[in-house]
């Protein structure tokens, strides 16, 4: 009976283009075309002209279809022949045909890994515009040759095969990039957890009590309220809580409530429906929805409008929100971390902050001490910011500190806390011109009483470990981060470098590739 070519083309195309799972599509097509073309095996081959490597990426036979990655490097003469075919259009063919795999000048070398050296085959060649060579091949055993009718039918599928292969290769690349992204994200999350969990500057001294509280509350889902002056590092602590929690693989959404205009507060936090107000041309998810299965950090919580406070209370109590202009209740699974430098209790008395919301947020308050109450962290912070800002500015080497500079820095009150110290280091680096940092521009800051005054007057107590750590860090700063050598910290401290490294490990002072903080 004559074959309806249109019907054959349509049915074969539906099968080969019917799935991005190329092994399934290939097997469906293989089982269909066997009704018209003798076939024992069908597979997809790729050839990389850069490396000269042929690869079978998928194959199908009567037992089913499967993805593979069977590779073989082409001999020099085959590579030359393929290159000539690539640059000479007259040598290109829509369908390659041979009575035996092993006899074909190009496909012969692949017969070793295909496993059917005596089988006849037909192969649909690549599209001319592709930068790689490929083919979809069908073969049969038993010595029977393919007829002109078989070749003609198979050639009808050149375009759908090309589309299916192109789609799959793009899909495969997308999966590869997704795996890379997932792996990078996993790596960065682990790095971030290590930094926030173990390498927060001052975590073992001035912030030791804070970090103990962070480790206690991180595994829970309870709200946390961070209290402290501006610039003390509330966002850093919030990030540490998130990254040490079971939600660490979820989103961490940061919101500065003081930076959102009052008119946009509800829309930004809770989202809005299309047409909810003038200019709402599309539906928008708010910050709470974006934090689903993760953590939302509400900085400057004291700046929330009364309406937003009511809706935030509902989020905490009922775990649900409604978009502006919407009627649908949306369930959310989030953890709320709030922070403020304001006196919320005074705001309660003035009626500017809701009592019920305050007590909901204040389940686990964490007070972050100002820098003046943890002055022993100043040397480590100076070195940390010197290393960080030097890299950001593209300097080749980390400048050293001028004599007396570190004492000058420790003799100030730092009303702007850690943020002001960071800015002072950055400013000094800009002005230094690669010379030792002097910090002569700190004259506008009110000096603290002399560092020689009693520890009781400072309001802190200093342990032997803190003094030792401070001395080592100061020496590292002076030695530009070097431990050993003629200009190293060990030489300044007059101890053996191995002994110094042992002390640094005990005091958890990183060195080497980790830097000195």
- Beta-sheet strands, E only, within 306-451: 320-321, 330-331, 335-340, 365-367
Delimiting residues of CATH 1.10.8.60 domain(s) in the chain:
372-514
Q: Closest Cα partner for 421 from 433, 431, 404, 408?
A: 408
- Report the 10 Å Cβ neighbour count for 361: 25
Q: In this structure, how many other beta carbons lie within 10 angstroms of the beta carbon of residue 416?
A: 18
Tell me if the domain spanning 199-369 has CATH number 3.40.50.300: yes
DSSP strand E in 228-385: where? 252-256, 295-299, 320-321, 330-331, 335-340, 365-367
The partner residues of 339 in beta bridges, in order of sequence, read 226
Secondary structure of residue 319 in the 3-state scheme = coil
CB 429 within 8 A of CB 497: no
Q: According to the model, what pLDDT value does residue 79 have?
A: 83
As its CATH architecture, domain 372-514 has Orthogonal Bundle (1.10)
Structure tokens at 318: 């009922």
Average pLDDT for the chain: 81
Mean pLDDT is lowest, of 156-170, 244-258, 310-324, 466-480, for 466-480
Q: How many whole angstroms separate alpha carbon 217 and alpha carbon 366?
A: 10
Spatial contact of 361 and 315, defined as CB atoms under 8 Å apart = no
HSE on the CB side for 268, CA within 13 Å? 18
Q: Give span(s): CATH 3.30.450.40, the chain.
A: 5-172
488 against 225, higher pLDDT: 225
Measured between alpha carbons, how far apart are the two ends of the chain, in Å?
Answer: 83
Please choose, from the candidates 115, 119, 135, the residue with its C-alpha nearest in 3D space to the C-alpha of residue 127.
135
pLDDT tens across 153-194, in order? 998 988 888 888 888 888 888 888 887 777 666 656 655 555
Asked if residues 24 and 171 have their Cβ atoms less than 8 Å apart, the reply is no
Which architecture characterizes domain 5-172 according to CATH? 2-Layer Sandwich (3.30)
Residue 401 has pLDDT above 80, yes or no: yes
* 272 pLDDT higher than 60: yes
| 496, pLDDT greater than 80 | yes
Task: Identify the band that residue 454 occupies on the pLDDT scale cut at 50, 70 and 90.
Answer: very low
CA–CA dist 114, 452 (Å, integer): 83
Q: Where in the chain is the domain with CATH 3.40.50.300?
A: 199-369
pLDDT tops 70 at residue 336: yes
How large is the C-alpha radius of gyration of the chain?
Answer: 34
CB-based burial label for 168 (10 Å; 0-12, 13-18, 19+): buried
Residue 82, pLDDT above cutoff 90: no
Query: Could you read off the pLDDT of 342-381 as tens digits, one per residue?
Result: 999 999 999 999 999 999 999 999 999 998 888 778 888 8
Residue 445 DSSP symbol: S
Cα 459 off chain centre by? 42
CB 400 within 8 A of CB 436: yes
- Supply angle C-alpha 147, 151, 152, rounded to 5: 115
Sheet holding 335-340, edge to edge: 252-256, 295-299, 335-340, 224-227, 365-367
Would the pTM of this model clear 0.75, i.e. be above it?
no
């Amino acid at each position: 009976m004559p074959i309806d070519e249109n019907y054959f083309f349509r049915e074969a195309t539906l099968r080969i283009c019917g799935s991005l799972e190329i092994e399934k599509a290939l097997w469906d097509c293989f089982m269909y075309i066997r009704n018209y073309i003798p076939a024992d095996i069908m597979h997809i081959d790729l050839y990389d002209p850069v490396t000269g490597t042929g690869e079978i990426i998928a194959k199908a036979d009567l037992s089913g279809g499967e993805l593979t990655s069977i590779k073989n490097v082409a001999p020099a003469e085959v590579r030359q022949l393929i290159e000539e075919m690539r640059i000479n259009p007259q040598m290109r063919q829509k369908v390659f045909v041979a009575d035996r795999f092993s006899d074909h000048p190009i496909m012969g070398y692949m017969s070793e890994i295909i496993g059917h050296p005596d089988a006849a085959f037909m192969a649909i060649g690549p599209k001319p515009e592709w930068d790689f060579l490929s083919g979809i091949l069908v073969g049969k055993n038993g010595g029977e040759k393919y007829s002109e009718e078989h070749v003609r039918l198979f050639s009808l599928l050149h375009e759908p095969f090309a589309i299916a292969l192109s789609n799959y290769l793009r899909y495969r690349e997308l999966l590869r990039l997704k795996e890379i992204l997932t792996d990078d994200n996993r790596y960065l999350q682990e790095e971030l957890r290590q930094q926030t969990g173990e390498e927060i500057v001052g975590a073992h001294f001035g912030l030791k009590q804070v970090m103990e509280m962070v480790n206690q509350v991180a595994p829970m889902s309870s709200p946390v309220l961070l209290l402290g002056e501006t610039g003390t590092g509330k966002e850093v602590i919030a990030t540490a809580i998130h990254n040490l929690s079971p939600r660490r693989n979820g989103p961490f959404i940061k919101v500065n409530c003081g930076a959102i205009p009052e008119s946009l507060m509800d829309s930004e936090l809770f989202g809005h429906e299309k047409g909810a107000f003038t200019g709402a041309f599309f539906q928008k998810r708010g910050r709470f929805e974006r934090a689903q299965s993760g953590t939302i950090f509400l900085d400057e919580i004291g700046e929330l409008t009364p309406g937003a406070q009511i809706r935030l209370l509902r989020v905490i109590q009922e775990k649900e929100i409604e978009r502006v202009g919407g009627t649908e209740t949306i369930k959310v699974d989030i953890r709320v971390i709030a922070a403020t430098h304001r006196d919320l209790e005074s705001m309660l008395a003035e009626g500017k902050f809701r009592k019920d919301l305050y007590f909901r947020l204040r389940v686990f308050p964490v007070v972050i001490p100002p820098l003046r109450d943890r002055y022993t962290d100043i040397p480590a912070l100076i070195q940390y910011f010197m290393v960080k800002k030097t890299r950001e500015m593209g300097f080749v080497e980390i400048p050293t500190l001028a004599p007396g500079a570190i004492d000058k820095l420790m003799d100030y009150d730092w009303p702007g806390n850690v943020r002001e110290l960071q800015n002072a280091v950055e400013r000094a680096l800009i002005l230094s011109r690669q010379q030792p940092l002097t910090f002569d521009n700190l004259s506008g800051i009110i000096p603290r009483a002399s560092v020689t005054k009693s520890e009781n007057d400072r309001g802190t107590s200093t342990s032997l470990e803190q003094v030792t750590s401070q001395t080592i860090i100061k020496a590292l700063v002076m030695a530009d981060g070097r431990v050993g050598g003629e200009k190293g910290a060990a030489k300044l401290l007059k101890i053996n470098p191995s002994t110094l490294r042992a002390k640094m490990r005990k005091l958890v002072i990183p060195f080497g590739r980790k830097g000195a903080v």
